[in-house]
Every structure is written in structure tokens, then in C-alpha cells.
Amino acid sequence: MGERAVVSGRRVVRTVAPLLLGVSLLGSVAPALAKSHTTTDAKNDVVRYDDALGDSDSRGVLDPTRTAGDIVSLKTFHGPHRVKLTMTFQAMSRASENSPATHVFNIKTAGNRHYDLVIFATGGKTQPDRYFARRNGTEVKCRKLTSSMDYAAKQVKVSIPRACLGNPRWVRVGAGEGTFTGSFLDDNPITLFVDEAGRTGRTGDNSDSLPPLGPRVRRG
């Protein structure tokens, strides 16, 4: 990709991250489960933000006609060596330069540690970019972290070595997805579509909250 496309990609991350990462919600308590958990999400609950990069205060509205990027489930598997996450969609279109996609996984572990994993896919690249960091912004170097996008199965999959998460006793996971339409190489309005696992729609009133975390999943 050219330099302008790279700059555009960075604008995507800066725009989606505040909507999908937001501010930390530390006070919730959840029961512990063993080994795996699947969070289901309602269909046709994607929220649209018009003119997402403009100066106006864009407020999200439900768009039940949008199926691409509509999350239907999030599976967390906590094995002896790895934490494996699978986000499944109602429909999943291939990312392009004019329609990039950002997939965000929020992970909380024992000891009140928070991690953010961002998978950013755009056209012209065979592998998506990844950003893995603590909530304080410290990037985590994790050489054996893997991710894949399975368009036939409509799934985004990641596999994180437990060592990269501090070998936690349990994990809680939330996830969200943002896709854009429009070109970042001109001044035309950009439309952002957002969905989160476990939340039925969202509006401008709650766009600064994290995707809801699932229950504690202990190592199997």
C-alpha cells in the first residue's frame, strides 16, 4: 500500500479505538466458569455512525439492515497453554482500502490486569496488522500470538500464549468490531458500523463504554 493508505489505516485505528475500547469498568463481578464460555449476541443490532470522521458529534443509530460485521457469538477457550478467542459474524465481507475492518478483544485477568488486542484488516495485505498492549498503553511483545480471518466460516480467531497474559488463573473477555465505508483518501463522509458481543445495540450515550466482559473462564 502507498503512504496515504498507511496514514488512512492509522486514522481508522484512532477512530475505532475510542468507540470500542472506551473507559475501564472495574467494579463488575462475575461467576467463574471452567475452560470455555460462549457469549451470544443478537442479530441485526449493528449501530451506524454517520460522518464518523467529521467535526459533528455523530450519534449512533441502530441499522438492522447491516449484516456485515454483525457479531453473533464470542467463544473463549482457556487451555493449559493458550487462550483462544473466536468471534463469529452473521456476514463477513473482505476488507478493502475503502472498507477496512477493526476487531477488538478486551481481556481482563486475575490481578486486575487489562489487555487490548486490536486486529486491523485492510486491502492489499495478506495478513492483518495487530496491536497488543496493556490498558496503560504499554505494548506487549508476544511473538507466538497468532490471528486469522476465516471468511468462509465468518470468523476472526486469535490464539494468545498464556505466558503473554502473565499465566492467569482466569480471564474475562469482551469484543467489538468496527467497519467503515467510504474512502480515507478524499474529503467525503465516512460511515462507521459498530457491534459488540453481548450488547444489543448502542447509542451515542454509551459509546464511551467498553464492550461487556464475559464471566471468568478458568484454565482447563
CATH of the domain at 159: 2.60.40
pLDDT-based confidence at residue 113 (cuts at 50, 70, 90): very high
Q: Establish if 167 belongs to a structural domain.
A: yes
Give the total number of structural domains in the chain.
Answer: 1
pLDDT of residue 4: 45
pLDDT of residue 7: 43
Judge whether residue 24 has pLDDT over 60. no
Quote the domain boundaries for residue 18: 3-24+41-218
Q: Establish if 169 belongs to a structural domain.
A: yes
Output the average pLDDT for the chain. Answer: 81
Give the angle 131-201-72 at the CA atoms, nearest 5°. Answer: 65
Judge whether residue 93 has pLDDT over 50. yes
| Contact indicator for 146, 158 with CB cutoff of 8 Å | yes
Q: Establish if 29 belongs to a structural domain.
A: no
Judge whether residue 179 has pLDDT over 60. yes
Q: Establish if 34 belongs to a structural domain.
A: no
Pairing between strand 216-218 and 32-34? parallel
Judge whether residue 29 has pLDDT over 50. no
Q: Establish if 75 belongs to a structural domain.
A: yes
> What average pLDDT score do residues 42-60 get?
76
pLDDT-based confidence at residue 186 (cuts at 50, 70, 90): low
Percent of the chain past pLDDT 90, that is, above it, reads: 52
From first CA to last CA, the distance across the chain in angstroms is: 42
Percent of the chain past pLDDT 70, that is, above it, reads: 72
Pairing between strand 113-121 and 129-134? antiparallel
Q: Is 42 helix (H, G, I), strand (E, B) or coil?
A: coil
Q: Establish if 30 belongs to a structural domain.
A: no
Give 130-152 pLDDT, tens digit per residue.
999 998 899 999 999 999 989 89
> What average pLDDT score do residues 159-179 get?
96
pLDDT of residue 180: 82
pLDDT of residue 158: 96
Q: Establish if 123 belongs to a structural domain.
A: yes
Give the angle 214-122-163 at the CA atoms, nearest 5°. Answer: 45
Q: Establish if 35 belongs to a structural domain.
A: no
d(C-alpha 162, C-alpha 168), whole Å = 7
